[in-house]
Structure 1
Amino acid sequence: MVRFEDLALFVRTAACGSFSKAARDANLLPGQVSAAIQRLERDLDIRLFARSTRSLRLTDEGERYLPYARDVIDLLHAGRDELRRDDEALSGTLFIAAPSDLGRNVLLPWLGEFRRAHPRLDMRLQLSDQVTDVFRDPVDVALRYGAMVDASFIALPLAPENRRVLVAAPAYIEQCGMPRSLEELKNHSCLLWQMAGRLYDKWVFPTTKGKATVHVKGALACDDADVVRRWALAGEGIAYKSWLDVRADVLAGRLIVVLPQQPGEPAPLQMICPHRRQFSPAVRQLHGFLRERCETLAGPL
């Protein structure tokens, strides 16, 4: 008979790509995970993984079986959650992925407050500006900026009116001057973000005629958005950031809004779930909590 624990470890191993990573996530030894997979393979009489000393990959049978295993686990979790629906004491483990800057500087204190309200709930936070695959990675929810065009998952709005904003430190403005138009950004040191080898050096702004794209340049670029913000605070140049990420710095005077009359590109914040069967009580309550906190943050001045 197939064990639920073995099935869950199979799904986690497929997402992690190795026994050791799956073991760390589940707080087990790699040998325990390997034994669980072997046991599941015996129960099913199929080979789920092709193993070598350097790699681990799903077999064709494993690829075909994986979505069914996910569905079984989701269905069992949904049944458990339905039984606990009236229980206000959240428990279990919630896996959350979030962008680096938002996660470190905005989300952390909020999650601390949420955790204190639900002490039986464990949380695992993954901070990265790489786009999390909510279907393959071991996360329950992911926070993302931007409009969601993929209809294969569910997007729950958190800050639908959020926009990007140009900011720089007072020291930079004093030394290099305040740009008077979007065109003048080309003459300034701009702080750039990159991901997967792509440099985001074309900044887009809405206009009455549609949109304007400015090709900017700068000597500094990083794949961690929090580093870009820190460079701006250090007076290294102009950054184009989400208002949620720099709001506290602007209100404290550490950063100045550049071209305040120019609207920035929309950057709505969403909470992403693979599908509605993962709307556990913890996910539902976290979404309501975070949306309430985001609503208290005013838009760009």
Structure 2
Amino acid sequence: MRIDDLQLFVRTAELGSLSAAARLLDLSPAVASAALKRLEQQLGTRLLARSTRNLRLTAEGEGFLLHARNALASLDEGRRQLARGQDDVSGVLQLSAPSDFGRNVLLPWLDELQREHPKLSVRLLLGDRNADLFRQAADIALRYGTPEDSSLVALPLCADNRRVLCASPAYLARHGEPKEVAHLAQHNCLLYQLGSRVHDHWRFGRGATEAGITVSGDRFCDDADVVRRWALAGLGIAYKSWLDVAFDVQAGRLKVLLGHLEGEAAPLNLMCTHRAQLGKPVQLLRNLLRERCQTLLEQLQRVSL
């Protein structure tokens, strides 16, 4: 039994006119008449008594009308439930993220996402070493830098993010503020180590305008969050991703130095092994991150003026 035939019958009974029901449902009179005959043949009874001027429900039609309405109402409710089910986000969102960004930026955003979608669970792995998505219990990874593994799918989240020099007001009060890149040689620089490599060569600008300097300091760590905490404690100057320190700069805990110089690029990407992993939870996270990171990036442009 066709749903559109049932709809036509119910509308015809309500309007008292087959032609009016046909116009409402955008059907030609011939198609409407054929649909009503088809329904009556399937039921084996006459539902409407028709003449050239009048149309009325038969006794059988009156009895069937209630069932037809209930059937259509039940189908409509089923559609609404399906739509609500599609809007509900559930399952486990498994991701890895850099330590500093994960703890101090991503964590409250994930809390917000889970408040909006209480059926969603999160499994968060933090660390600055690149997660092996083929072995670790993570479906996606957030990573800084230009993707090197061509076997992974890379989706840009904040392509224009860059590193900034920053220090606490307390440190600057004691040691002064560098006015040019060469002055960094006179400061205690807080160094980040990834694997066996210490990032002690800091570059600014690009192309013909690029300037670089090899810096030194009395502290280095393989956890970027620790480097940030050292900077907050007034122990030296850090060269950090803007996304990691944006909230500290806004709150006055850190100050951007040499903001007129363009720092090293630090694009943030979402990585996965296959696009099939980009389900609704991941898409929601991706949209949230792109929006929030773009807002932070606009603030960097104001700080750098």
Which residue number corresponds to residue 206 of structure 1? 205
For the residues of structure 2 that align with 1:158 and 1:235, how far apart are their CA atoms? 31
Structure 1 length-normalised TM: 0.69
Which residue number corresponds to residue 15 of structure 1? none
For the residues of structure 1 that align with 2:85 and 2:209, how far apart are their CA atoms? 49
Kindly indicate whether residue 176 of structure 2 is the aligned counterpart of residue 172 of structure 1: no
Which residue number corresponds to residue 93 of structure 2? 94
Which residue number corresponds to residue 160 of structure 2? 161
For the residues of structure 2 that align with 1:280 and 1:195, how far apart are their CA atoms? 31
Matches within 5 A, 1:28-39: none
Which residue number corresponds to residue 137 of structure 1? 136
Larger radius of gyration: 2
Which residue number corresponds to residue 246 of structure 2? 247
For the residues of structure 2 that align with 1:134 and 1:147, how far apart are their CA atoms? 17
For the residues of structure 1 that align with 2:148 and 2:276, how far apart are their CA atoms? 20
Residues 92 and 194 (structure 1), Cα distance of their counterparts in 2 relative to 1, 3 Å cut: same
Kindly indicate whether residue 268 of structure 2 is the aligned counterpart of residue 264 of structure 1: no
- Cα deviation, residue 292, structure 1: 1.6
Which residue number corresponds to residue 69 of structure 1? none
Runs of 4+ in 1 over 6 A off after TM superposition: 83-86
For the residues of structure 1 that align with 2:195 and 2:208, how far apart are their CA atoms? 32
Residues 119 and 183 (structure 1), Cα distance of their counterparts in 2 relative to 1, 3 Å cut: same
* Structure 2: gaps of 5 or more residues: 1-81
**Residues 73-123 of structure 1 deviation map (CA, whole Å, 9 limit, x = unaligned):** xxxxxxxxxx99971212221111001110111101100011111111111
Which residue number corresponds to residue 46 of structure 2? none
* Contact 1:161-1:299 within 8 A present in 2 as well: no
For the residues of structure 2 that align with 1:86 and 1:282, how far apart are their CA atoms? 14
For the residues of structure 1 that align with 2:240 and 2:290, how far apart are their CA atoms? 20
Classify the secondary structure of the residue corresponding to 1:296: helix
Residues 126 and 84 (structure 1), Cα distance of their counterparts in 2 relative to 1, 3 Å cut: farther
* Contact 1:168-1:256 within 8 A present in 2 as well: yes
**Residues 137-164 of structure 1 deviation map (CA, whole Å, 9 limit, x = unaligned):** 1101110111223321111111111110
For the residues of structure 1 that align with 2:133 and 2:84, how far apart are their CA atoms? 24
* Contact 1:158-1:271 within 8 A present in 2 as well: yes
**What is the one-letter code of the residue matched to 1:229?**
R
Which residue number corresponds to residue 194 of structure 2? 195
Which structure: greater helix fraction?
Answer: 2
**Residues 245-291 of structure 1 deviation map (CA, whole Å, 9 limit, x = unaligned):** 11111111111111111111111111111111211121122211221
**What is the one-letter code of the residue matched to 2:262?**
P
Classify the secondary structure of the residue corresponding to 2:262: coil
For the residues of structure 2 that align with 1:112 and 1:205, how far apart are their CA atoms? 35
**What is the one-letter code of the residue matched to 1:149?**
E
Report % sequence identity.
Answer: 53
**What is the one-letter code of the residue matched to 1:260?**
G
For the residues of structure 2 that align with 1:210 and 1:149, how far apart are their CA atoms? 26
Kindly indicate whether residue 286 of structure 2 is the aligned counterpart of residue 283 of structure 1: no
C-alpha RMSD of the superposition: 1.8
Aligned residues: 219
